[in-house]
Amino acid sequence: MRKKETLATGWYFMRQDVGAALTLAHGSAAVLPHTWNAEDGTDGGNDYYRGSCWYVKKFEVPVLVGSEELWAEFEGIAMTAEVFCNGKSLATHAGGYSTFRVNLTPVLQHGENLLAVRVDNSENDTVYPQKADFTFYGGIYRPVHFITVPKAHFALGYHGSTALKVTPDVDLHCRRARITVEAFAENAEGETVTFSGAGQTFCATVEAGLAKSVFVIENVHLWDGVEDPYLYTLTASLSSGDSISAQFGCRTIGFDAEKGFILNGRPYRLCGAARHQDRQRIGSALTDAEHDEDMALLREMGANTVRLAHYQHAQHFYDLCDTYGMIVWAEIPYITKHMENGRANTISQMTELIVQNYNHPSIVCWGLSNEITASGGVTPNMVENHKELNDLCHRLDPTRPTTMAHAFMLDMDDPFVRVTDIRSYNLYYGWYLGELEQNDQFFDDFHRKYPREVIGLSEYGADANPAYQNGHPEKGDWSEPYQALYHEHMLAMWSKRPYIWAMHCWNMFDFAADGRNEGGKPGQNQKGLVTFDRRTKKDAFYIYKAYLSKEPFVHLCGRRYIDRPEDVTEVKVYSNQSSVTLLVDGRELETRKGDKIFIFQVPLTGEHTIEARSGELADSITVRKVDQANPAYRVEGGEVVNWFDRPDEVLREGYYSILDTMEEIRKSPAGAGLLARMMAKVAAGYGDVARSVTLPEAVRRQMDQMPLEKLLKQAGKTVTPAMVKQLNAALNQIPKA
């Protein structure tokens, strides 16, 4: 009989590499899951510890009957691990996000035993990820278990999988599913496996380590997304007493260049968010409770899809996606920078991702990479790596397509765009570059030029610190209102283009990026709809709820914009109701009919209580009239109007200024040199990844056509008003070419 024991306590953690002299005296007590970067990986400075550490635990061997075996199961160790038992090295594993197991039986001794794991998240050129806009936490940050099994057992060494593979083939017309089941076994050649599921029992013999059979479910109950995520359970048993089970769902999926994603024969519009697994104060060392909370927030927003970026996530979260009908994009951390020595690691990580997650009906595609052309462009070795990965995915799983998330800098005509079955783009027009309308134009151009290709939107977003407020929000101010305006536009854009197979907002939650220093929170990417600690839902969260959720609600925006200097202030309400009434200090101001967004103009004379109502639904905020804008509402350097008091301070006839375009300024060698130094400083403020980004000629042309002032506006803290004045003064000394 299989037994499983969780090993959470009794561990000792050592930051130094003590090697052969390892004893418990070197360490401090630790409880798993654990990461050593929960603090220094989230505070900015790009200086978090990346190196080797040890986890050590004494244990008494569980009672083993006859030829039973004891295995250690590790659900996730970042980034590489070497496992020792009683001083003997038993296994190494490269890849920080997948499950692996180690057979301890051959080295066990009577009495006390010592399990030790050397963990390393050092920089190298073989294991992904190495360059990306998030923190690479080190540690044993997912659970560890002892598994006791009979000598003849279902495979524990098969790429960390459950050893049970279920492939439904659904005939929608006949409402019938033909189910192929495969069970992988070790030390069980010739033995009989008994399967049971969907009210049926059948058997198969283990041959060459595999028992395979087929059965049929009549009147099949479909797994049908968030509306009806029905799951079946299949159990496999050996005569030795070992038994395993897996849940599966019966559904069909498709991807159409005009209709987008197809679920069970019908168009099924996908809109949701991407998710990073970490959170404030605990880093990546999440328990099931944190995973449950993240899923609850996605469901509250009304999302029906989640991109689990940029690596394999915890099995518990994939299970939640199955249970609640969330459509999943799953991917490996092949990201930003292609490493010629990393191909074997992409193959092993993709193999583990697919083999360990094959049975999840929620997963509909395998992501090969993310923005891999951002640092270095397209190279022959990189293309070969992707083609090999693509072929691997099709061999391991012919039922799901492959995809990639392309950087917006990659030209849509590049053949690399077409390596995978379907594709998506990461677009940041309206934040990093250009204007919001360019997102619309991109999709219109792509669909017009390639009408038979499936295209999606895998990332888009704008950073927002909820402390920053602005009555006149603008790109680059890191304000909560601008983020909300940004997402209003993107949702409207998506709603008019049914061919977009999925739209995944970047990101559901703020997350750690220790190389960042911007927007008032060093060490964080603040594009989340919810803050890093999950305590604050930004206003943009509710525009998604208005579009996606069936739960009736009204939400008053601007509850953190209390001090308002304007005489008449704009009050915005998000709701999925058809009309909203606004009350000011208990008196009805106006009732408006509308669709998702309701805007009111409210005169300010002092402190006011503002309430929005729709039937029994209500929400309220408090605002007050002030003489001067609250300086705490602005990111340092974000107050553009303070750069210069008068236009004549900017302009000098016959000379350059910040009002000129980049293209015009670059015509002068002196101007070009000045811009190069300025751009390097701005890029440094966006972290380590931004410094390595290679912009193609098409994107450079777009930037060159923008006035320099527009680029400076969104540089925020990295470019202060004093620096802008100094830059403009320097430009005023350069005669126009």
**Distance of alpha carbon 429 from alpha carbon 449, whole angstroms:** 20
**Distance of alpha carbon 277 from alpha carbon 280, whole angstroms:** 11
Residue 641 in this model has a pLDDT that exceeds 50: no
Give 715's pLDDT tier (boundaries 50, 70, 90).
Answer: low
**Distance of alpha carbon 44 from alpha carbon 444, whole angstroms:** 39
Give 640's pLDDT tier (boundaries 50, 70, 90).
Answer: very low
Average pLDDT over residues 365-374: 96
Annotated catalytic residue 371: yes
- pLDDT at site 723: 75
Residue 710 in this model has a pLDDT that exceeds 80: no
Three-class DSSP labels, 158-222: CCCCCCEEEEEEEECCCCEEEEEEEEEEECCCCCEEEEEECCEEEEEECECCEEEEEEEEECCCC
Q: Are 375 and 131 in contact (CB under 8 A)?
A: yes
**Distance of alpha carbon 674 from alpha carbon 669, whole angstroms:** 9
Structure-token pair, residue 608: 């006011």
Residue 687 in this model has a pLDDT that exceeds 70: no
Average pLDDT over residues 131-140: 96
**Distance of alpha carbon 683 from alpha carbon 468, whole angstroms:** 22
Average pLDDT over residues 491-503: 98
Give 701's pLDDT tier (boundaries 50, 70, 90).
Answer: confident
* Residue showing tokens 């001794």: 109
Is the sign of the CA dihedral 275, 281, 287, 291 positive or negative?
negative
Sort 347 into a burial class: Cβ within 10 Å, 0-12 / 13-18 / 19+: middle
Q: Are 257 and 499 in contact (CB under 8 A)?
A: yes
**Strands 176-186 and 164-171, how do they pair?**
antiparallel
Q: pLDDT tens-digit profile of 510-548?
A: 999 999 998 999 999 999 999 999 999 999 999 999 999
Residue 496 in this model has a pLDDT that exceeds 90: yes
**Distance of alpha carbon 514 from alpha carbon 523, whole angstroms:** 4
Amino acid letter, residue 513 = A
Q: Are 12 and 59 in contact (CB under 8 A)?
A: no
Q: Which of 229-243, 560-574, 707-721 has the lowest mean pLDDT?
A: 707-721
Q: Which of 101-105, 283-287, 298-302, 718-722 has the lowest mean pLDDT?
A: 718-722
Residue 636 neighbours by CB distance under 10 Å = 15
In the chain, the N- to C-terminal Cα span, in Å, equals: 83
Instruction: Report DSSP state, residue 126.
Output: S
Largest CA distance in the chain: 93
Residue 717 in this model has a pLDDT that exceeds 60: no
CA distances from 76 to 7, 8, 37, 141 (A): 13, 13, 15, 6
Please give the full DSSP string across 573-594, using - where no structure is assigned: EEESSSEEEEEETTEEEEEEE-
**Distance of alpha carbon 161 from alpha carbon 396, whole angstroms:** 13
**Coil vs helix vs strand at 381:** helix
Give 635's pLDDT tier (boundaries 50, 70, 90).
Answer: confident
Residue 21 in this model has a pLDDT that exceeds 50: no
Q: Which of 7-11, 232-236, 672-676 has the lowest mean pLDDT?
A: 672-676
- pLDDT at site 689: 57
Average pLDDT over residues 106-119: 96
**Distance of alpha carbon 299 from alpha carbon 302, whole angstroms:** 5
| Range of 252-256, 646-650, 682-686 with top mean pLDDT | 252-256
Mean pLDDT of the chain: 93
Q: Are 429 and 408 in contact (CB under 8 A)?
A: yes
Amino acid letter, residue 256 = D
- pLDDT at site 709: 83
From 352, 371, 518, 611, the catalytic residue: 371
**Coil vs helix vs strand at 685:** helix
- Nearest residue to 468 (alpha-carbon basis) of 636, 602, 619: 636
**Coil vs helix vs strand at 491:** helix
Give 582's pLDDT tier (boundaries 50, 70, 90).
Answer: very high
Q: Are 329 and 502 in contact (CB under 8 A)?
A: yes
Q: pLDDT tens-digit profile of 395-417?
A: 999 999 999 999 988 999 999 99
Q: Are 304 and 271 in contact (CB under 8 A)?
A: yes
pTM listed for this prediction: 0.91
**Strands 607-614 and 617-625, how do they pair?**
antiparallel
